[in-house]
Structure 1
Amino acid sequence: MTTPDTKRPRPGAGILKAALRRNAGAVAWGTVLMGLYQAGETAFPIALGLIVEHTLRDRSLGSLGLSVAALAVIITTVSLSWRFGMRVLQKANTTEAHRWRVRVAACGLQPVARDVDLKSGEVLTIATEDADQTADIVEVVPLLVSSLVAVVVASVALGLADVRLGLLVIVGTVAILTILSVMSRRIGSSTQEQQARVARAGAKVADLITGLRPLHGFGGNHAAFLSYRKVSTEAKHQAITVARVNGVYAGTALALNAVLAASVTLTAGWLAYEGRITIGELVMAVGLAQFIMEPLKLFSEMPKYVMMARASAERMALVLSAPPLTVPGQDRPATGGDLEIDGVRYGSLHELTFRVRAGEFVAIAPYQPRAAADLVSVLGVNVAPEAYEGVVRVSGRAITDLSFEALREHMLVNPYDGEIFAGSLRTNIDPSGTSRMVPEAVEASLLTDVVSLHPEGLDHGVRDRGANLSGGQRQRLSLARALAADSDVLVLHDPTTAVDAVTEQLIARNVAKLRAGRTTLVITSSPALLDAADRVLVLDGGVIAADDTHRHLLASDEGYCRAVAR
């Protein structure tokens, strides 16, 4: 049975409600403390007016001392309530943003069927900027309520002096909020569009950097640059639009607040001139007219932040409400089992059937690269089971009967383009910090030269996507990570395409030695890896066309010889 925290959240408004409900205690305390702060701020000009009134009437040192003590209490209340109120709210905000980042990241790691076109760069933006802006709702609501408290207290105080002053504040506040709420809707829609365009531009440039060498190879770099320029220009224009709308909003809010403050001041001056309010009440009214601009400014900005939080929540919902690729089972496979593909039909695969026995090192030589990619997609659970025919079994259990966690613990599918993350060599090889195979994995992948090249060794810094590493170093780092996981079943897809022949030969021998007794499947056209395997399966036309050792196939199959010989 799913709990409220584990089920997938509803779009937009549902995510904001969940955030407020989860932080109800912090929101309540923050509202009380920030309301006390605003009430204290409002009480200050009221106290000044009363002090002037009583000082002019009594003219005694006792009254003056009492007045000073009252101001000290007000100032202390304002200071402490602000300090502790913001501490409570910012802690809740930060914690809530972290929760949503974890949720988005967890969803991104699970196989999900996304109907929306979201690239990895966009998911990253959603997990950072959108998560932060969504969590801002935890601060926005208490600040909105506290600003309302200040406006109400000011209206009541002015109304006690003269009803017309109180009504002027109330009517003016309603008018300001009505105008600004209409403008905030435009900000919300514009911000949502900007976030989407900026995220797409970030994803585009990340893909461009990753594929820069291949693009240079076939002369496609110019077209790729033009494509990025178009996406980037669209993002820039949208950012300018959002900045313009925000500027108009801020300017309008400031102007309207200033008009209201001036109206209250002039009305109070006129009433004092007519003798309808006292000098003390005039001082209070002028002080409140100046003070009220701050809570009004804050109050008028809140609709904008609410719409921005709503826009970010809607983008998070694109990821969080995406349906799962498949409903996972609950079973766990037996340790040290085999891998079986039984009658799989998907893409370019046609009734593909083969078995890798427990502890066997098998290589697949694909004659068509598309078939290799389709096979990796099926094994990596990147394709819904209903999208293909046939069954994939691990240790005799269909992968549809296994939980995702159990399947990943038992079988690791390492793609040829494995991601490299910002951090260090060590954190890329052993992200969890629990592997006991790091030294062996580094040696087997021949990453030792990279480690010894830097004084920091395994703690040498790695930039995002391995920008400070060569293509061969990135590939060996990805291979080291796969080997360090020490999974029962390991599937490698083209793990040595970016290294030279001598290095490839050594890596092949090392991998075969390190994986001895563990089930290993390598999809490759590398002669070194094919030779190191116990047997080679030739994948041609979507089916297994041959099954033999590499050397026997070289001697007996002319087509195989042409396909893999270098």
Structure 2
Amino acid sequence: MTTPDTKRPRPGAGILKTALRRNAGAVAGGTVLMGLYQAGETAFPIALGLIVEHALRHRSLGALGLSVAALAVIITTVSLSWRFGMRVLQKANTTEAHRWRVRVAACGLQPVARDVDLKSGEVLTIATEDADQTADIVEVVPLLVSSLVAVVVASVALGLADLRLGLLVIVGTVAILSILSVMSRRIGSSTQEQQARVARAGAKVADLITGLRPLHGFGGNHAAFHSYRKVSTEAKHQAVTVARVNGVYAGVALGLNAVLAAAVTLTAGWLAYEGRITIGELVMAVGLAQFIMEPLKLFSEMPKYVMMARASAERMALVLSAPPLTAPGEERPAPGGDLEIDGVSYGSLDGLTFRVRAGEFLAIAPYQPRAAADLASVLAANVPPEAYGGVVRVSGRALTELSVEALREHMLVNPYDGEIFAGSLRTNIDPAGTSRMVPEAVEASLLTDVVALHPEGLDHGVRDRGANLSGGQRQRLSLARALATDSDVLVLHDPTTAVDAVTEQLIARNIAKLRVGRTTVVITSSPALLDAADRVLVLDDGAVTADDTHRHLLATDEEYCRAVAR
């Protein structure tokens, strides 16, 4: 789970700082361009006031022409700076959101400590909505600074006309931001709770889809629907709360900004009436009072977006800061494929000890299904080393010494319930598109009949979770994917429980033939696979009670015969 630029712990503030630091160039460039835009917008009413003042005093067509040219320059500056500034910021925003989506997805795919309650549906929401809202900080900061520039320029211009006008804008802006900053905190906490409820709803959907077939089987789909409806309703109520808070915030911000603009306009009119400012300065003041509504609105909205980005960043930190299942080592297993289980005690396993020689085809016949599941979990490194006793060694090295990537490349543990993904037969067998063993794997798993049924062959479309395949076809597709990896050590857990006896017999022979010279361990009670193995270990009460060939055990061990005979 750890990556070079991911440090633990990574709180929300740290994530936002990382986003800004990583896009420092775009943020600086965008700030300059958007500052030019806001300065140009502010300069427009100032220029109008100066033109009126100049026209009343000098009445010169040449001066009027220069004034119009100056307005044209201002308008051009406003147009181009907005266009290129937003282009720079939106590109940086989109790129940064993509980076966080990839990072969250990468971390979400790695096993984490069991006390971290993060479900796949929650990770999905965090990797999409929260990543997007976090990346908004790249746009928010430049817009915040540029709107501040507009307020400062307007305050200075009004202050030059009359100090009271400038002070009115400054004091009014500070008062507005003070009020809205308090309200923005409520928005941040409400948004964080909304995202959490939406994530829980997403997790519920993922769980229901995973168990859709069993639910239909015993008629539990109606109860499941009501369970999801309850969670979704909670998310809806929270969304309404957030919308209500946002509405109040927007209404208060708009009202306060309008009050300030009206105050500036009325004060300027009173000063003009008293003769303390000129007509040109009055035109400028009225123009700025109208213009300042936009940057003030933008300026007052920014705290809300900062709090929303912070709330989403805090949720991303749940994934990025989640402790790994185990601290991986840095070593790589040596070439070869010997596997040693030395005194492993975990769950139903009790001091389990055995060794698989490199290139051997070993079958393990567990009398208790729980023992099979526990052994598969330990071998797959889904159990932290401190949670079990004993040592597992791969090519002479303990699992704790190996990096996760190196272990996965060297040894594959294929679960009995391997997932099938939406795509095609080919992309399910070879997701990375790098295997040279796809034809052999298809033939060995007897997936050839499925390929031959469809004109597209291996490019035949597969629906999500293999919805358009039978149970046996899904299992053979999962087996083909495992065989196509051609890993040094392959561990298969009940790979043929959903196929008929004849097919199972052929698959067993094919696996033994294809895996010659490669270490293969099959945890199964299938007579066909047990017979194809070089030797069989009998696992009873978490320990090895017999070690022999399948046929000799059938002839000499009545309990074994009863356990595996079909």
Q: What TM-score do the two structures reach when normalised by structure 2?
A: 0.93
Match of 2:381 in 1: 381
Taking a change above 3 Å as real, the CA distance of residues 394 and 153 of structure 1, as seen in their structure-2 partners, is same
Mean CA deviation greater in 530-539 or 237-246:
530-539
**CA deviation after TM superposition for structure 1 residue 2, in Å:** 10
CA contact (8 A) 1:204 1:228 kept: yes
Q: Which runs of 5+ in 1 are unaligned?
A: none
* Residues in 1 aligned to 2:228 and 2:412: alpha-carbon distance in whole angstroms: 34
Which residue number in structure 1 is paired with residue 242 of structure 2? 242
User: Relative to structure 1, is the Cα distance of residues 464 and 126 closer, same or farther in structure 2, using a 3 angstrom cutoff?
Assistant: farther
Aligned to 2:275: 275
Matched residue, 1:404: 404
Q: 1:538 is paired with a residue of what secondary structure?
A: strand
Structure 1 pair 74–405 and aligned structure 2 pair: CA distance change class (3 A): same
Q: Distance in 1 between matches of 2:433 and 2:65?
A: 65
Q: Deviations over 1:303-339 (max 9, x none)?
A: 1111111111111211222223333222221222211
* Contact 1:194/1:238, CA 8 A, preserved across alignment: yes
- CA gap of 1:360–1:187, structure 2 versus 1, over 3 A, is same
1:345 Cα deviation from its structure 2 partner? 0.4
Aligned to 1:301: 301
Q: CA deviation at 1:553?
A: 3.6
**What SS does the corresponding residue of 1:332 show, helix, strand or coil?**
coil
In structure 1, how many angstroms separate the alpha carbons of the residues matched to 2:129 and 2:261?
36
For residues 530 and 2 of structure 1, the distance between their equivalents in structure 2, rounded to whole angstroms, comes to 40
Shift of 1:147: 0.9
Moved more, 330-339 or 415-424: 415-424
Task: Give 1:542 shift.
Answer: 1.2
User: CA 1:101/1:372 → structure 2, altered by over 3 Å: closer, same or farther?
Assistant: same
Give distance in 1, aligned partners of 2:322 and 2:484.
32
| Equivalent residues of 1:114, 1:322 under 8 A apart | no
Deviations 1:126-151 (CA, angstroms, capped at 9, x unpaired): 22222222222121111111111111
**Equivalents in 1 of 2:212, 2:229: separation in Å?**
15
Following superposition, the deviation at residue 206 of structure 1 comes to 1.3
Deviation at 1:258, TM superposition (A): 2.3
| SS across alignment from 2:115 | coil
Structure 2 vs 1, CA of residues 18 and 416 (structure 1 numbering), >3 Å: closer, same or farther?
same
Change (3 A) 1:241 1:546: farther
Q: Is the 8 A contact 1:115 1:322 kept in 2?
A: no
Task: Measure how far apart 1:352 and its partner are.
Answer: 1.0
- Contact in 2 for aligned 1:539/1:545 (Cα 8 Å): yes
Alpha-carbon distance, 1:500 to partner: 4.1
Q: Once the two structures are superposed, what CA deviation does each residue of 1:453-477 show, in whole Å capped at 9, x if it has no partner?
A: 4444434444444445444443333
Cα 1:129/1:275, change in 2 over 3 Å: same
Cα 1:271–1:90 shift into 2, 3 Å = same
CA drift of 1:441 comes to 2.0
Q: Deviations over 1:331-367 (max 9, x none)?
A: 2212222111111001111111122221122222223
Q: Is the 8 A contact 2:120 2:206 kept in 1?
A: no
Is the deviation greater in 489-498 or in 142-151? Answer: 489-498
CA deviation string 1:383-415 (max 9, x = no partner):
111111011111121111112221111001122
Residues 405-464 of structure 1: per-residue CA shift (max 9 Å, x gap)? 211110011222333334443333222222111222233233334444444443444444
Mapped partners of 1:87, 1:181: distance in 2: 29
1:71-98 CA distance string (max 9 Å, x none): 1211221122222222222232233223
Q: 1:478 to 1:297 in 2, by over 3 A?
A: farther
Displacement of 1:375 after TM fit?
A: 1.2
CA contact (8 A) 1:111 1:381 kept: no
Q: Which moved more, 1:120-129 or 1:462-471?
A: 462-471
Q: Contact 2:108–2:319 at 8 Å: present in 1 too?
A: yes
Question: In structure 1, what is the Cα distance between the partners aligned to 2:250 and 2:446?
Answer: 58
- Identity between Structure 1 and Structure 2 (%): 93
Q: Secondary structure at the match of 1:266?
A: helix
Report what 1:343 is aligned to.
343
**Offset at residue 39 of structure 1 (A):** 0.8
8 Å contact 2:121–2:205 — kept in the other structure? no
Per-residue CA deviations over 1:508-563 (Å, capped at 9, x if unaligned) read 33322222221111222333333333333222211123333334444444443443
Is the Cα–Cα contact under 8 Å of residues 339 and 395 in structure 1 kept in the other structure? yes
Say whether the 8 Å CA contact 1:254–1:297 is kept in structure 2. Answer: yes
Structure 2: distance between partners of 1:54 and 1:227: 73
Relative to 1, partners in 2 of residues 1:352 and 1:93: Cα closer, same or farther, differing over 3 Å?
Answer: same
Give the Cα–Cα distance (whole angstroms) in 2 for the partners of residues 45 and 109 of structure 1: 56
Aligned to 2:221: 221
Partner of 2:69: 69
Deviations 1:40-85 (A, max 9, x none): 1111121122222222332222122211211121122112222222
- Greater CA drift, 449-458 or 292-301: 449-458
Residues 93 and 136 in structure 1, CA contact (< 8 A), matched pair in contact too: yes
Deviation, structure 1 residue 300: 1.4
Aligned-partner SS, 2:510:
helix
Distance 1:324 1:441 in 2: 33
Tell whether the 8 Å contact from 1:42 to 1:154 is kept in structure 2 after alignment. yes
Q: Displacement, 1:35?
A: 1.0
Q: Is the 8 A contact 1:492 1:521 kept in 2?
A: yes
Could you report, residue by residue, the CA deviation over 1:263-296 in whole angstroms, capped at 9, with x for unpaired residues?
3233333333333333322222222222222211
Alpha-carbon distance, 1:199 to partner: 1.3
Please show how residues 165-204 of structure 1 align to structure 2 within 5 Å: 165-204=165-204
TM-score scaled by structure 1?
0.93
Q: For 2:516, what is the secondary structure of its paired residue?
A: coil
Is residue 445–residue 477 contact of structure 2 (8 Å, CA) maintained in 1?
yes
Change in CA separation of 1:461 and 1:82 when aligned onto 2, cut-off 3 Å: farther
How many residue pairs match? The answer is: 566
Alignment CA distance shift 1:29-1:345 (3 Å): same
C-alpha separation in 2, matches of 1:229 and 1:368: 39
Moved more, 20-29 or 261-270: 261-270
Write the distance in 1 (CA, Å) between the matches of 2:3 and 2:210.
40
Q: Is the 8 A contact 1:44 1:74 kept in 2?
A: yes
| Distance change in 2, residues 1:8/1:462 (3 Å) | farther
User: Mean alpha-carbon deviation: is it higher for 260-269 or for 174-183?
Assistant: 260-269
1:406 and 1:484 mapped to 2: Cα distance?
18
Q: Which moved more, 1:452-461 or 1:543-552?
A: 452-461
| Contact 1:9–1:15 (8 Å) recurs in 2 | no
- Matched position secondary structure for 1:81: helix
- Structure 2 CA distance for partners of 1:341 and 1:153, relative to 1, 3 Å: same
Work out whether residues 33 and 85 of structure 1, in 8 Å CA contact, stay in contact via their aligned partners in 2. Answer: yes
The 3 A distance-change label for structure 1 pair 58 and 563 is: farther
| Cα distance in structure 2, aligned partners of 1:277 and 1:61 | 25
Instruction: Select between 16-25 and 270-279 the one with higher mean Cα deviation.
Output: 270-279
| Greater Cα offset, 72-81 or 449-458 | 449-458
CA pair 86-16 structure 1, distance change in 2 beyond 3 A: same
Between 1:203-212 and 1:111-120, the stretch displaced more is 111-120
Unaligned segments of structure 2, at least 5 residues:
none
Q: Which moved more, 1:535-544 or 1:103-112?
A: 103-112
CA distance in 2, matches of 1:170, 1:499: 78
8 Å contact kept, 2:422–2:464? yes
Partners of 1:473 and 1:57 in 2: how far apart?
91
Instruction: Tell me if the contact between 1:114 and 1:323 (Cα under 8 Å) persists in the aligned partners.
Output: no
The 3-state SS of whatever aligns with 1:354 is: strand
| Per-residue CA distance 1:228-272 (angstroms, 9 max, x = gap) | 233222222222222222222222222222222233233333333
Aligned to 1:507: 507
Q: Distance in 1 between matches of 2:462 and 2:197?
A: 28
Pair 1:213–1:72, CA change in 2 (3 A): same
Contact map agreement 1:337 1:396 (CA 8 A) in 2: no
Report the CA distance shift for 1:162/1:212 in structure 2 as closer, same or farther (over 3 A): same
